[in-house]
């Protein structure tokens, strides 16, 4: 078993998986900022930087289906999700920036808050190696999003 050393190793795993599903890069799915202008507009102001001046950039996006899919991934299963018993999935700035699930849901909520989408599939993926991958899938829809959801 070869341990992952870089987050790009997880990116490579995700890319290979999407390709194995028959999806085509730059046609059916995109990496980082190569998404459509419409999706970029929906993510405007949701960058995970302190100033939030740019659009958010999920690791992968898919606009092939009726519901857009966004994927955020992290190296290490310790960075899969930040949650607690009181509030559930944490949406503070540190959790959104450093955890796969939290970041994916953050992007999905902002896409919906933009009023460009009513629903988004948010996927958080983390991994230690090809044999130790965690994948969590969330259906995020408009009834769950308060207006102007931003950190």
Give 19's contacts (C-beta < 8 A, 6+ positions apart).
Answer: 25
pLDDT digits (tens, 9 = 90+) for 36-76: 999 999 999 887 766 556 788 999 999 999 999 999 999 99
CB contact at 8 A, 83 and 99: no
Q: What is this structure's pTM? A: 0.89
CA distance 145 to 149: 7
The pLDDT assigned to 38 comes to 95
Mean per-residue pLDDT, 87-95? 91
Helix, strand, coil percentages (3-state) for the chain, rounded to 5, are: 30, 25, 45
The CA angle 52-70-150, to the nearest 5 degrees, is 30
The pLDDT assigned to 51 comes to 58
pLDDT digits (tens, 9 = 90+) for 15-38: 999 999 999 999 999 998 899 999
Asked whether the predicted pLDDT for residue 119 surpasses 70, the reply is yes
Smallest Cα–Cα separation from 17: which of 33, 29, 5? 29
CA distance 147 to 131: 40
Asked whether the predicted pLDDT for residue 146 surpasses 60, the reply is no
User: How high does pLDDT run on average in the chain?
Assistant: 90
CA distance 44 to 89: 23
């Amino acid at each position: 078993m070869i341990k992952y050393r870089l987050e790009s190793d997880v990116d490579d795993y995700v890319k290979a998986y999407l390709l194995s599903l028959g999806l085509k890069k730059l046609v059916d799915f995109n990496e980082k900022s190569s998404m459509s202008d419409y999706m970029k507009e929906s993510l405007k102001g949701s960058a995970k930087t302190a100033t939030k001046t740019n659009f958010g950039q999920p690791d992968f996006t898919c606009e092939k289906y009726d519901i857009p899919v966004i994927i955020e991934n992290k190296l290490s299963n310790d960075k899969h999700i930040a949650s607690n018993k009181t509030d559930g999935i944490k949406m503070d700035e540190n959790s959104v920036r450093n955890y796969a699930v939290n970041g994916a849901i953050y992007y999905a909520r902002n896409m919906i808050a933009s009023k460009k989408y009513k629903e988004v599939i948010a996927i958080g993926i983390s991994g230690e190696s090809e044999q130790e991958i965690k994948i969590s899938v969330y259906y995020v829809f408009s009834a769950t999003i308060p207006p102007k959801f931003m950190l």
